[in-house]
Chain A
Amino acid sequence: MKKKRGALYYLKRDFWLYLCVLPVIVYYVVFKYLPMAGIVMAFQDYNIFKGVLGSKFVGLENFVKIWKSQQFWNSVRNTLVLNLATLAASFPLTIALALMLNELRAVKFKRVSQSLLYLPHFISWVVVAGIAQNMFNMSNGTVNKVLESIGGGPVPFLSNNGWWIFTYILCNIWKEIGWGTIIYLAALTGVDESLYEAAYLDGATRIQRIRYITLPMIKSVAVTMLILNVSSMMSIGLDAPLLLGNTKVMAISEVISTYVYRLGIEKAQYDLATAIGLFQSLVNIIILVIVDRIAKCMGEEGIL
């Protein structure tokens, strides 16, 4: 018969293990959960000197203010446009690149290509923005010089709204496409070689083998990646838009994260910025749940 033991017994038995977890719990409480409590600012007329405890509650006033703000809706639109455009371009390209890498038979060539393709992932956005400025500059950028030499006019890659979106997507793809293939290649290492051999003996062409063996193998990974990407439609990294953006393309480069940064840190309007952050988190969670449901209805595994 199993004896029921008190919490104290386990605490004593696994004392060292609990001690290991303790600093991590403290870390999460202080740097993750305490800020969550700070969300009450979104419902306050926050006063820096009175603090969270002393400030007056104003209900949903901050949300009403945001709702009426044209700048806020612009940032929402820009976030969605940039995220959707990047996803539409990078999702199929990543899968295509993974399929190509998977078809390579020369082991050494494959390994070297992969190493070089992963490298941009580790480069900071500051550096990427610096490189982009150097290459896509209107007056002396390499790309425009090349275009000029073949008779094209200088293209305002960084100073025209439409072209800026293009440059933004290009930089994102350049940075992350190689890294993105890892997860697909990982899924493909599990494929039984004998499947390919059997298909080959049956006279299947390369395209047919990809179509009927490789693609089904990565389908569930692709769906998961799609769910993850779609469910974070409302959040966008601050780095790329802030660093690639400039005053000329502010109308398109101002996204939610950069807007929160400018409003909260630069203008010290903590309550409004927090309200926007909360709104964004809630929308993200709602989309995540919906997309997950849809995926499950379609017979996929989902992620929740």
Chain B
Amino acid sequence: MTRKKKKMSAAETLLYVIVTLIVVICIYPFLNVLACSVSGKAAVLGGKVTFYPIDFQLDAYREIFKQQSVWLSMQVTCVVTLSGTMLGLALTIAAAYALSKEKLKGRKIISGFMLFTMYFGGGIIPTFIVVRGLGMYDTYAALVVPSAMSVFNFIVMRTFFRELPKELEEAALIDGAGDMKVLFQIALPLSVPIIATIGLFYAVGYWNDYFSSLIYIQSAEKFSLQLRLRQMLFANELNQASMAAEGMGTQAMSESLKMATVVFATLPIILVYPWLQKYFVKGVMLGSVKG
């Protein structure tokens, strides 16, 4: 008996070691980027930086604060993320609440109408032409509205509303409350976790979006942060030969600058993540229940 127990714990230890290793591999790239962004030029260029800074300095961050374009893009992305998340949540909550009511006639047809778009769509080009035809080309609206709602989030929300206890609602209805009063006074206060989850999904989607910006935006001052970042990363690859000619210093500086911008573009997500992550696992589980 004791022998068996010992053997089990050896396997157990191995399991913990393996999982720890996987987690370390998973977060190592983050640490590497962070370390590179605050390391000296020579160390970065020599590829010596691993997960701790060498020749600690904050030049790259000082440089970012001077970059007008990065700040501009940051503002664009903040505005787009905030308004997009609000719009997405409003549309999703309204539709999911109404279509979770069994008394509503035609709800199956309307749901089907939405679900169909998960399997079939017009594709990039027809969507592009519609957006341009609406006069949204090169406006913030093109970054917000076309991707305002996701069917997946709608299904999650509807499933949640369906599972709310019916007794509360019935009691309110007997007291003479209308559907809207029930939504605002009963359903919404009970749905804070799921709203946080879906809000996170929408916000991350908008924050990380560069493609809408790439195809719909022409003026450089309206570029989103991710598109700006892509340009910075990509421009370096294009001009590597000329960079080398200018001397190593420039290249190393821009390498740290690149990594500092990466940190800058990722930080907000990493900051809100711990607060919301306890909610979203449940959200994903709800979504996996067949629509």
Q: Residues of A at under 8 Å CB distance from B?
A: 7, 10, 14, 16-18, 20-21, 23-25, 27-28, 30-39, 41, 52, 97, 100-101, 103-106, 109, 113-120, 122-127, 129-131, 133-135, 137, 140-142, 144-145, 174, 178, 182-183, 186, 206, 221, 238-239, 243, 246, 257, 260-261, 264-265, 270, 273-274, 277-278, 280-281, 284-285, 288, 303
A285 touches B120 (CB 8 A): yes
6 example contacts (A-B, Cβ-Cβ < 8 A) are as follows A16-B178, A18-B104, A20-B94, A100-B19, A142-B50, A281-B123
Point out the residues of chain A lying under 8 angstroms from B229, CB to CB: 126-127, 130
Q: State whether A124 and B210 are in contact (beta carbons under 8 Å apart), knowing that A28-B113, A246-B237, A277-B122 are contacts in the complex.
A: yes
A38 touches B126 (CB 8 A): yes
A142 touches B146 (CB 8 A): no
How far does the alpha carbon of A27 sit from the alpha carbon of B269 in the complex, in Å?
28
How far does the alpha carbon of A25 sit from the alpha carbon of B125 in the complex, in Å?
22
B48 touches A274 (CB 8 A): no
Point out the residues of chain A lying under 8 angstroms from B285, CB to CB: 182-183, 186
With both chains docked as a complex, state the minimum distance between the C-beta of B10 and any C-beta of chain A, in angstroms: 11
A126 touches B210 (CB 8 A): yes
Q: Which residue from A122, A131, A303 sits with its C-beta under 8 Å from B204?
A: A122
- In terms of DSSP, what is the predominant structure of the interface of chain B? helix
Extra contacts, 4 of them, besides A25-B113, A133-B237, A182-B285 (Cβ < 8 A), are A21-B94, A39-B126, A119-B273, A142-B50
Q: Which residue from A20, A127, A178, A264 sits with its C-beta under 8 Å from B95?
A: A20
Number of contacting residues on B, CB 8 A?
89
Point out the residues of chain A lying under 8 angstroms from B97, CB to CB: 17, 20
Q: State whether A31 and B19 are in contact (beta carbons under 8 Å apart), knowing that A260-B124, A264-B125, A288-B119 are contacts in the complex.
A: no
Q: How many A-B residue pairs have CB under 8 A?
A: 241
The answer to whether the Cβ of B253 comes within 8 Å of any Cβ in the partner chain is no
Point out the residues of chain A lying under 8 angstroms from B174, CB to CB: none
Q: 9 closest A-B pairs (Cβ-Cβ)?
A: A35-B122, A38-B126, A277-B123, A124-B208, A145-B47, A35-B126, A20-B94, A24-B95, A20-B98
With both chains docked as a complex, state the minimum distance between the C-beta of B261 and any C-beta of chain A, in angstroms: 8
Point out the residues of chain A lying under 8 angstroms from B270, CB to CB: 119
A140 touches B45 (CB 8 A): yes
**Per-position contact with A for B231-274: 1 when CB-CB < 8 Å, else 0?**
00100010000000000000000010011001001100110011
B113, closest chain A residue (CB): A28
The answer to whether the Cβ of B185 comes within 8 Å of any Cβ in the partner chain is no
Q: Which residue from A16, A32, A206 sits with its C-beta under 8 Å from B179?
A: A16
With both chains docked as a complex, state the minimum distance between the C-beta of B68 and any C-beta of chain A, in angstroms: 20
B181, closest chain A residue (CB): A16
With both chains docked as a complex, state the minimum distance between the C-beta of B191 and any C-beta of chain A, in angstroms: 15
B98 touches A17 (CB 8 A): yes
A134 touches B32 (CB 8 A): yes
A144, closest chain B residue (CB): B47
With both chains docked as a complex, state the minimum distance between the C-beta of A104 and any C-beta of chain B, in angstroms: 7
- CB interface residues, B 16-40, toward A, < 8 Å: 16, 18-20, 22-23, 25-27, 29-30, 32-33, 36
**Per-position contact with A for B117-150: 1 when CB-CB < 8 Å, else 0?**
1011111111111110010000000000110110
